[in-house]
Chains A and B, each alone.
Chain A
Amino acid sequence: MKYFRLVWSNLLRKKTRTTLTIGSFAVALFLFGLLVTIQTAFNQGVEVAGVDRLVVRNKISLIMPLPLSYEEQMLQIPGVKAVTFATWFGGYYQDPKNFFPQFAIQKETWLKMYPEFQVPKDEWSAFLADREACIVGRKTAQKYGIKVGDRIPIVASIWGGVWEFNVRGIYTGARTEDDTTQLWFRWDYLDERRQWGKGTVGWYVVRVENPDDAMAVAKAIDERFANSSWETKTDTERAFAAGFVKQMGNIKLLILVIGGVVFFTLLLVTGNTLAMSVRERTGELAVLKTLGFTDVAVLWLVLGESLLYSAQGGILGLAAVKLFTLHGDPTGGFLPLFYLPPSKMVLGLLVALATGAAAGVIPAVLAMRLRIVDALRRV
């Protein structure tokens, strides 16, 4: 620690250069954090998805419905433990750009299927007791200032008209990653009020007895309904979510390439800056060695300098991302899980330090190898 001052005072030597170096780290880490946040947002759905849940949809297209009668039939297939269903409502609240998902849900089985979603008991009872009731996710409730007891209008783009719902509860997620942007209302109410499509559901969600048998059960379901007029396509929830992500292209690769280029550039720029700084003060480094600082100590002084640049820049950049994500999803509903997880912040800091160390290695070794007599003669 007593050497810290020595390293620190070298940072103050050329303030502009130091600021720029720290700035490049900050910008790179900001970009890194942002990319990771976006990637997390895309993948979170996949990671959060239950391993023991299957999604059964119409084989032709996701927007085609399935008959209500499938619920009973699926429950008879071996390996199926529970079934629930939902229908996409596709409306908006007040303004078309206020997008959040609304599901008409099967009220008896929905929460049993999704234990990660939590609703206070009394609120859930109130929901069951009121045909026009709805439950709103915490994030959406916060965003639009929706409270229990409110009556909120949803413009139904698919079914027509303005539907008003009584907010009977707010649901929360057991984990930060859980999506709390949805609105649920009762499927029986939807079916009663809509003009067409009566007696159909959007998709089924099936819980299997044993996750290991998930694929076999999925196959059994699709076979059961093959050659009917409503053929099904069954996937694990994870595959279903990943299918969504795949439509966005290979985001991971994109992030790796962009990130790689940025950090490689950073490596060269910082390495060059440090090498320059070492070259400028060969005399001083030689003096330190003269005073009895070992070669290895001098190596650490230079490396420490590089690590200080990267740590400061890294913290700045990641803090900026954190601030940015505090406002939540900037795309207005497209990436509901827009946040930078702490584990990824730690990862970012490690990446910054690793880049700092890599950039500092060559200059540090140059400083270490410096021979006193040669360096002093050059002064």
Chain B
Amino acid sequence: MVRVDGKGNTGALVQVRSLDKTYQRGSQEVHVLRGLNLDVERGEFVAFMGPSGSGKTTLLNLLGGLDLPSRGSITVDGDEITHLSGPKLAAWRARHVGFVFQMYNLLPVLTAFQNVELPLLLTRLGKADRRRHVEIALDLVGLSDRLDHYPRQLSGGQEQRVSIARAVVADPTFLLCDEPTGDLDRKSAGEVMALLERLSAEFGKTILMVTHDPRAAERAGTVLHLEKGELVEGQGGS
């Protein structure tokens, strides 16, 4: 069950309570998130929708420990990440979060293999183990024949699949995807969504995804809308 009323049970994987995020723009304060609540249980696939500028990326950044809220708390798997800082937060991200961005964000100087290997460099795995994990991950996204290709030698859809492989290779607690199909044509977008769906259904991955694309949102178990700094359920709103 996904809840947005702040009354979820304590066992939920992700618990967000009274989350505020305010940006300072000159002398003006921009309240992006206002008292936002969210409970997501393990294995759920949630899509966030909302107009541009409504704060979807902001929310995702907070959930991924890339930024700190102005107020409120985020607890993931029992860790209150809003209390972590610096190196601890970095270590937490490495262990628990897999990121997928709209622009893929692969390192152009590294091959597909090396890009996927990056998160594993932060683990204690030896070289052989890293290789095995990377090969499994790239096989999962259907790119085992592209190990030595550089990002510029791949199509957009392939790049995004490499970045999904990078996101799952260290077996994180959850995946955060910010408009993963936003820059793809319809066919590639379909492939990427099928892949995410499979990760959710077959591997029980918890996925939180921001999207503008109703067809992509359809694949998620739950669709939430960000309105006036809060999340609301259902197909209402924009």
Residues of A within 8 A of B (CB): 2-3, 5-6, 9-10, 12-13, 283-284, 287-296, 372-373, 376, 379
A373 touches B121 (CB 8 A): no
Give Cα A107–Cα B92 distance, bound, in whole angstroms. 82
**Which one of A2, A3, A12, A291 has the highest number of Cβ atoms from chain B below 10 Å of its Cβ?**
A291
Residues of B within 8 A of A (CB): 61, 64, 66-67, 86-87, 90-95, 99, 101, 103, 105, 107-110, 114, 118-119, 121-122, 127, 166
A-B contact pairs, 5 of them (CB 8 A): A9-B109, A12-B109, A290-B64, A295-B87, A296-B87
Interfacial chain B residues near A295, Cβ < 8 Å: 86-87, 90
Q: Which secondary structure dominates where chain B touches chain A? A: helix
B109 touches A13 (CB 8 A): yes
Query: Which among B86, B93, B103, B110 is the interface contact of A291 at CB below 8 angstroms?
Result: B93
B107 touches A287 (CB 8 A): yes
Query: Which among B61, B109, B122, B127 is the interface contact of A292 at CB below 8 angstroms?
Result: B122
B61 touches A373 (CB 8 A): yes
With A2-B121, A9-B114, A294-B86 already in contact, the answer to whether A376 and B94 are too (CB < 8 A) is no
Query: Which among A9, A293, A294, A373 is the interface contact of B110 at CB below 8 angstroms?
Result: A9
B87 touches A291 (CB 8 A): no
B105 touches A292 (CB 8 A): no
A10 touches B90 (CB 8 A): no
Distance to closest chain A CB from B69 (angstroms): 12
* Closest chain B residue, CB of each to CB of A289: B90
Distance to closest chain B CB from A278 (angstroms): 14
Interfacial chain A residues near B121, Cβ < 8 Å: 2-3, 6
Query: Which among A2, A5, A290, A379 is the interface contact of B103 at CB below 8 angstroms?
Result: A379
With A13-B109, A295-B86, A296-B87 already in contact, the answer to whether A290 and B122 are too (CB < 8 A) is no
Distance to closest chain B CB from A222 (angstroms): 72
Give Cα A6–Cα B67 distance, bound, in whole angstroms. 26
Interfacial chain B residues near A13, Cβ < 8 Å: 108-109
* Closest chain A residue, CB of each to CB of B118: A291
Interfacial chain B residues near A6, Cβ < 8 Å: 110, 114, 118, 121
Distance to closest chain A CB from B183 (angstroms): 12
With A9-B114, A283-B105, A376-B101 already in contact, the answer to whether A292 and B67 are too (CB < 8 A) is no
A372 touches B67 (CB 8 A): yes
Interfacial chain B residues near A290, Cβ < 8 Å: 64, 66, 93, 99, 105
Distance to closest chain A CB from B52 (angstroms): 13
Give Cα A288–Cα B105 distance, bound, in whole angstroms. 10
With A293-B122, A372-B66 already in contact, the answer to whether A5 and B93 are too (CB < 8 A) is no
Interfacial chain B residues near A296, Cβ < 8 Å: 87
* Closest chain A residue, CB of each to CB of B120: A2
Interfacial chain A residues near B99, Cβ < 8 Å: 290-291
Give Cα A153–Cα B92 distance, bound, in whole angstroms. 84
* Closest chain A residue, CB of each to CB of B88: A294
B119 touches A291 (CB 8 A): yes
Give Cα A287–Cα B66 distance, bound, in whole angstroms. 11
Give Cα A284–Cα B119 distance, bound, in whole angstroms. 14
B66 touches A5 (CB 8 A): no
A284 touches B67 (CB 8 A): no
Give Cα A293–Cα B66 distance, bound, in whole angstroms. 12
Give Cα A289–Cα B119 distance, bound, in whole angstroms. 10
B109 touches A10 (CB 8 A): yes
Query: Which among A9, A294, A379 is the interface contact of B90 at CB below 8 angstroms?
Result: A294
Starting from the known contacts A292-B92, A372-B61, 8 additional A-B residue pairs (CB-CB under 8 Å) come to A6-B114, A6-B118, A283-B105, A284-B108, A291-B99, A292-B90, A292-B119, A295-B90
Query: Which among A284, A287, A291 is the interface contact of B94 at CB below 8 angstroms?
Result: A291
* Closest chain B residue, CB of each to CB of A13: B109
* Closest chain B residue, CB of each to CB of A379: B103
B118 touches A5 (CB 8 A): no
Distance to closest chain B CB from A289 (angstroms): 7
Give Cα A290–Cα B95 distance, bound, in whole angstroms. 11
Interfacial chain B residues near A293, Cβ < 8 Å: 90, 94, 122
Give Cα A2–Cα B94 distance, bound, in whole angstroms. 17
Give Cα A376–Cα B99 distance, bound, in whole angstroms. 12
Give Cα A113–Cα B184 distance, bound, in whole angstroms. 88
Give Cα A373–Cα B60 distance, bound, in whole angstroms. 11
Interfacial chain B residues near A5, Cβ < 8 Å: 114
B109 touches A288 (CB 8 A): no
Interfacial chain B residues near A292, Cβ < 8 Å: 90-95, 119, 122
Interfacial chain A residues near B114, Cβ < 8 Å: 5-6, 9
* Closest chain B residue, CB of each to CB of A290: B99
Give Cα A10–Cα B86 distance, bound, in whole angstroms. 25
Give Cα A372–Cα B97 distance, bound, in whole angstroms. 15
* Closest chain A residue, CB of each to CB of B61: A373
Give Cα A294–Cα B114 distance, bound, in whole angstroms. 19
Interfacial chain A residues near B64, Cβ < 8 Å: 290
Distance to closest chain B CB from A298 (angstroms): 10
With A294-B87, A372-B66 already in contact, the answer to whether A288 and B118 are too (CB < 8 A) is yes
Give Cα A12–Cα B107 distance, bound, in whole angstroms. 13
Distance to closest chain B CB from A369 (angstroms): 12
Name the 4 nearest CB pairs between A and B, nearest first. A292-B94, A9-B109, A294-B90, A292-B93
Distance to closest chain A CB from B124 (angstroms): 11
